[in-house]
Each structure stands twice: as structure tokens, then as C-alpha cells.
Amino acid sequence: MFGVGKKTGCSGIDTVIGSQTHVEGDIRFSGGLHVDGTIKGNLVAEPGTETVLTVSEKGHIEGDVRVPNLILNGAVQGDVYASERVELASHARVTGNVYYNLIEMAMGAEVNGNLVHRAEPQRAPSNTTQKVESIESAEAAGMSIAK
């Protein structure tokens, strides 16, 4: 069900915050981060990366989370911004809003806030589209273009 046979874009876990660890302050990361401990601060994935944040049943985050992919079975007190996918397992607890593109929620998971769907970011127009628009603009201005 959760994480089995699914590709999240990340090859594995690069960093672990253990169950006896308490971190205070914001964290910026890339790759895979697994949280068993407590974090008081915001978690932000490096832009343009295929980052995965995994929070176990023992994990607790007090702050906003901004990642492409989130697998949550612990608690988050703050808003969650997931640009790709969110998986909420049966012990997941979110006190805040969840902004997502794709969501999977198991029976027993709780969200005490709003679920807000965000469409996938639009891709930049291709060169072909830009060239056609440039030609049309030039012709509209009275210029003659050899095609």
C-alpha cells in the first residue's frame, strides 16, 4: 500500500533523525530524509530535487513542511506543501492545511485543517511555441517573415 511498488523519484534515505533526537531550527535538505525524532522548525527541500521526507509513527514536526514527496505516519503541527504526492498512513496526524498534487490517505489518518488540491506546475512553453508566437507577432507588426 504505502511506498510499495511506487516510484517517488528518490533512490533512498540519505539522512536519519533518530527517535532520541530533538532538532530546533529550520532544515533544508535534498535526497531522502527519515524522521523518527522531533523537529521544531520548518523543513524545506532544495528546489528542483526529487526529495522524499518520511516521518515514522514516532516522528513529530512542529513547523511547515515544503517537499515534493511526503510519506507521513507521525505528526505534523503546521502546514504541509507537497508539490508531487502525499501519503498519509494510518497513524498520520496533521494539524494544519495540506496542499497537495496527489494524495493517498489510509483509514485512521487525521487532517485537522484544509485539504487543498494544487495542480501540477505548468511546464515552460517549448521553443516551437515561442517561435510561432514570435512569427505571429512580427507579422502583426507588418514585418515579412520567410518561413
Residues 6 or more apart in contact with residue 35 via CB below 8 angstroms: 17, 53, 54, 55, 56, 59, 61, 74
pLDDT, one tens digit per residue, over 82-114 is 999 999 999 999 999 999 999 999 999 999 999
Tell me the domain boundaries of the chain: 15-121
pLDDT, one tens digit per residue, over 51-87 is 999 999 999 999 999 999 999 999 999 999 999 999 9
Task: Report how far residue 97's alpha carbon sits from residue 146's, in angstroms, rounded to the nearest whole number.
Answer: 54
Q: Tell me what pLDDT residue 73 has.
A: 98
- Hey, what's the cell of 7? 516510484
Beta-ladder partners of 28: 44
- Would you say 61 and 43 are in contact if contact means Cβ atoms under 8 Å apart? yes
Give me the torsion for CA of 15, 21, 26, 31, rounded to 10°.
Answer: 10
